[in-house]
Structure 1
Amino acid sequence: MQIKKIIIDTRMIDSSGIGRYLQNILPDIIEQFSNVSLLGEEQLLKEKLQNDNLHVIPFNEPIYSISEQLKYPYVIPKCDIFFSPHYNIPLLPIKAKYRIVTIHDVFHLAFYQSLNIFQRIYSKAVINQALKQSDAVITVSEFSKEEILKYTNKKYIDKIYVIYNGVRSWRKLSETKVDYCDNKPYFLFVGNVKPHKNLRRTIEAYRLLLLNIGDVKQKPYFIIVGKRDGFITGDNITALIENDPLLQQYVKFTGWITDSELQELYSNALALIFPSYYEGFGFPPLEAMSYGTPSIVANAASIPEICGDAALYFNPFDIYDIYNKMKCIFNSLHIRKELIEKGRENIKRFSCNLSIESHIKLFECFLK
C-alpha cells in the first residue's frame, strides 16, 4: 500500500500569529503521518520545531510575491494533500490530489479601502481563489467564518471548518531574566505595529495614565514586544514617542526576542493590553492567561468570543475608555486576581491537543 504524501508550506514559521499556529500543530502532524514534507528554510524549521529529522523542500520566495506563484508548480511534488497555512495558495495548477487552506481572517477584504491598489487586487483575487480551489478551508473562530462568508460567497459554507487555535498552558520558565524597566511594573503589548493593532491610540491612552500618576516611582512602563517597523502596512508611531519626553522615558521596544524572554515578560507583566480592532483569533490574551497575567482587550471582532469573561474590555476607538481600563487594572489588585482566575479557566477551551486532533481528523478524511 502506497504511503500518502502531505506537503505543507511552512515559510511563515517565524511570523507572529501564523508562526505560533504552525509551531503548535506541525510536530504532531509530522509524527502522525509518516510522509510529510515541508516547504521552507531547513535550518529555521529544525530550530523552531526542535527536530533534525525533517524532510524539507527548500523554498524561500517572499510571501505574496509573483515569484512564489511562478515557482510553486515546480517545487511542489506530486502529493495527496497540499496544506497552505495562509491564504496565499498556489494559483497555478499543482500536482496535489487535495488542497487544504487555513484562512485566519479576511482583514484585507474587511478593510479593503485602507489598502493600495496592488494589495486590493491581490487579496481579493487570492482569497476568493483559496476558497474556490481548496477542498477544505480551516478558520480559527466563528467570527472569521462569518466574515469569510460575508465578504466572499455563502456557497462555500459547507467546506469551512472552525478549529480553534490551541495554546500551550503553563510551560516551565527558563532561567532567562529580562528587565527593560528597572524591575518596575509594566503593561505589555505583544504584536506588530500594523494600524489595525491600534497601538497609537493605546499609547495615547497610556500617556494619560502617566500624567495622572503623580508619584514618579509608581509610574508603570509600557513594553512593546515586536519590531518597530518593517511591515507592509506599518503604523507610524515613532514621531509620537520621539516628540514626547515622557513617552521616550517609559515606552520600550524590545525588537525580536526569544520565546524564553517572551515567557518571562508575560509572567511578570502588570497586564497584557490587546487593543486590536480586527483579529481572526488573537494569541496574546490567551498566552497571557496561561502565565497568570490579566488581559485588557478590545471589545471587537473575535476577541470577545475567544476571551469570554476572562478579560477587561474597552472600546478600541475610545482613548479615554482605554485609559480608564488601564487605570482600573493599575489600581485594583482585586480585579487583577479575579481576571487571573477566570483566565485559567478560559484557556481550558483552547487545548492544543484538541486543536491538533481536529486538524489530523480533517486530513485523514482526505487520505482514506
Structure 2
Amino acid sequence: MENPTGISTYALNLIPQLRSLDPILLTPQPRLGFRHHPIPPGLTPEQGLPGHLKRLLWTQFLLPRLYRDLGGDLLFSPLPEAPLGWTGRYVVTVYDAIPLRFPKPASPMTFYHRLYVPQVLKQAQHLLCISQATADDAIAFYGVPASKITVTPLAYDRHHYRPLNLPRRNYFLYLGRHDPYKNLQRAIAAFAQLPPSLDCEFWIGGSFDRRYTPNLQQQVRELQMGDRIKFLDYIAPAEVPILLNQALALVFPSLWEGFGLPVLEAMACDCPVIASNVASIPEVTGDAALLVDPYDLQQLADTMRVLAKGDDVRSHLQQRGRDRARQFSWEKTGQLSCGILHQLSCSGNP
C-alpha cells in the first residue's frame, strides 16, 4: 500500500510469521517464499468507499468459489470479514468496536459494524483480538463467548523503531487520524494553556481529513496558536522514527483505542508518552507512560507542562518505555496466531 496504516501494518508484519503453516496468500502481488493466488487490485481502504464495496462483494460472491477450487480447509482473514451464510471455516482478526462506541449515524462504517460484522463473528471458528480491551468489546458488543477469543497483541519493527541518539527538539507530537474520538480538540486546548515561556510546539501528524481537520485548524486559528501548532499531514514511515526520537513526548489522548500502536512505537524510540488511561492503552504502556483522564483538559495540560520542564521525568520514562516495548514482538504475535490456526486446521473442529 502507498500509505500503510494500522491494519495493513498488522498484515504485512504477521505474514512472515505464518511461514511454517505454508499458507496460500490471496493478494494482488506474490510474496517471496509463499504460495500465492492473485486476486483483483483495488480492494483496499486506499480506494475509499468503492474499495470497501468491491472487497465486500468479492468476499461474498467470489471468495467461496476460490476457497473451494484451492482446496482450502481454513481461511484466515486479517479483517473481520468473510462470506455470510458460508459453510467454510475461518478465523478473523478484530481490532475494536469504536464505530459502535462512538457511532456516526450516517456513516457506512456504523452499518458495517452493526449489521455485517456481528454475523461474521458469529460464524467464525475463532477470533484473534489485538488487545484484552478489544476482546472485552467483542464479548460486550457482539456477544462472542470468551472461549472463542485469543488475544494476540500488536508489535513493532525493532529495526525501524529504535533509539537514534538524535538531539531532542522542543515539540510535542501526535500521530494518528483526526476523528473526534482521537480527542485532538482537547489536546489542542490543553497545549494552548502552556505558557509561551516554555517555547515548545505541538506537531500533529496524520492524513488530512476533510471531515475533521478543517475544524481543528479553525480551532488553532481561534486560539491564535498558528505559530506553535503545526499540521504535518501523512508522515512517511521512514520519517516517523526520526520525529519520535526528537519529540519531547508523544501525546495520545484518545477516548478509546483497540491497541494504540503509536504508543508502542514511541516507547521503542525513546520518546516519552502522555496517553489516556482508558481501553487498551494501559495494557500497552504498563507503568512506562504518564496516563491521564482523556476528558480532563486541565490534567492533560498539567502533564504536558511537567514533561516540557522536566528532564528527569523524561529520562525516567525513556528507560521504562524501552523496557516495556521489548515485551512486544511480531514473533510472539506470530507464535500465538500460528498456534490457533494450526490447531483449527488440524482438528477441523471449532
What TM bracket, shorter-length normalisation?
Answer: 0.7 to 0.9
- Normalising by structure 1, we get a TM-score of 0.81
CA contact (8 A) 2:208 2:234 kept: no
User: 1:86-101, aligned counterparts within 5 Å?
Assistant: 86-91=79-84, 93=86, 97-101=88-92
CA contact (8 A) 2:17 2:330 kept: no
Structure 2 portions without partners, runs of 5+ = none
User: 1:124-203, aligned counterparts within 5 Å?
Assistant: 124-154=114-144, 156-169=145-158, 171=160, 184-203=169-188
Q: Measure the CA separation in 1 of the matches of 2:98 and 2:330.
A: 25
CA contact (8 A) 2:23 2:34 kept: no
| Map of 2:251 onto structure 1 | 273
Is 1:224 aligned with 2:204?
A: yes
Q: Measure the CA separation in 2 of the matches of 1:259 and 1:131.
A: 32
Structure 1 portions without partners, runs of 5+ = 1-11
Which residue of 300, 318, 328 corresponds with 2:278? 300
What displacement does 1:329 show?
0.6
Which residue of 238, 251, 260 corresponds with 2:217? 238
Letter aligned with residue 79 of structure 2: H
CA contact (8 A) 1:37 1:57 kept: no
User: 1:103-118, aligned counterparts within 5 Å?
Assistant: 103-112=94-103, 114-116=104-106, 118=108
Letter aligned with residue 218 of structure 2: A
Which residue of 12, 28, 39 corresponds with 1:57? 39
Is 1:367 aligned with 2:345?
A: yes
CA contact (8 A) 2:245 2:270 kept: yes
**Deviation per residue, 1:234-259 (Å, 9 max, x gap):** 7831211244442x212222222322
- Normalising by structure 2, we get a TM-score of 0.85
What is the root-mean-square deviation of aligned Cα atoms in Å?
2.8
CA contact (8 A) 2:75 2:89 kept: yes
What displacement does 1:57 show?
1.9
Which residue of 4, 21, 26 corresponds with 1:33? 21
Q: Measure the CA separation in 2 of the matches of 1:265 and 1:54.
A: 37
Q: Tell me the secondary structure at the aligned position of residue 137 of structure 1.
A: strand
Q: Measure the CA separation in 2 of the matches of 1:268 and 1:81.
A: 45
Q: Tell me the secondary structure at the aligned position of residue 291 of structure 2.
A: strand
Distance 1:255-1:327 versus aligned 2 partners, 3 A rule: same
What displacement does 1:290 show?
0.5
Letter aligned with residue 301 of structure 1: A
CA contact (8 A) 1:266 1:293 kept: yes
Q: Tell me the secondary structure at the aligned position of residue 196 of structure 1.
A: helix
What displacement does 1:228 show?
1.9
Distance 1:261-1:146 versus aligned 2 partners, 3 A rule: same
Is 1:21 aligned with 2:3?
A: no
What displacement does 1:134 show?
0.9
| Map of 2:57 onto structure 1 | 70
Distance 1:33-1:13 versus aligned 2 partners, 3 A rule: farther
CA contact (8 A) 2:63 2:83 kept: no
